[in-house]
Amino acid sequence: MIPQVESLVNSSKKLHDLSGDELLNLAAAENRLHGLPHMQHTVAHLNALKVNESLSLLYVYTEAFRLHVDWLKTAQENFSLPSQAAEGASAHLLKLSNLLNTSLQQMSEEVPQSPPPSLPVVSTAFDVLQFSVEISERLKVFCIWSKRVLLKLQKSPHCPRH
């Protein structure tokens, strides 16, 4: 799973094609995608993680991002904007989701289902750009959190070694 997360980091950086200065101006904009997950990443929270709960949470977060990235890809295509990066990110999220699903099933854990997110209407190409920046920034945080969780779980005595 860690290689998928690392590949996802690279894809997330390409969701928008902005320079550092341009990104600073847009990154300060209001977050409008309320369906994107907020990760708890304190040391106390990471130390309290259990394998089955962590994988379930990681699965739910992965699916939320996958739905948002697929929505972004469609919005980019609707405004004739490049969508290859979103397509790549979506593929990595799908692979990660499948790996998590398989792991949960192997542990005889129920695979959690999430309600579909409420996504805003995209009326301009600028909206698409703003959403791509928001998803990109939040996806980077998700990747850092996911990698920490997976590394923590890997060291856990309850984590099966493959």
Q: Which residue, among 12, 145, 143, 147, has the nearest Cα to 89 in the 3D structure?
A: 12
Could you identify the residue written with the tokens 């980019």?
A: 76
The answer to whether residues 69 and 61 touch, using CB atoms and an 8 Å cutoff, is no
Tell me the C-alpha distance between 96 and 103, whole Å. 11
Tell me the C-alpha distance between 7 and 72, whole Å. 19
Tell me the C-alpha distance between 15 and 64, whole Å. 16
Structure-block tokens of residue 23: 């990104």
Start-to-end CA span in the chain (Å) = 12
Q: What is the mean pLDDT of residues 80-85?
A: 94
User: pLDDT of 53-82, one tens digit each?
Assistant: 889 999 999 999 999 999 999 999 999 999
Could you identify the residue written with the tokens 């200065």?
A: 21
Tell me the C-alpha distance between 108 and 104, whole Å. 6
Confidence of residue 159 (pLDDT cuts 50, 70, 90): low
Could you identify the residue written with the tokens 């969780």?
A: 149
- 24-28, 63-67, 92-96: segment of lowest average pLDDT: 24-28
Could you identify the residue written with the tokens 């959403």?
A: 131
- The H-assigned helical ranges of the chain are 2-13, 20-27, 43-47, 51-78, 84-106, 125-155
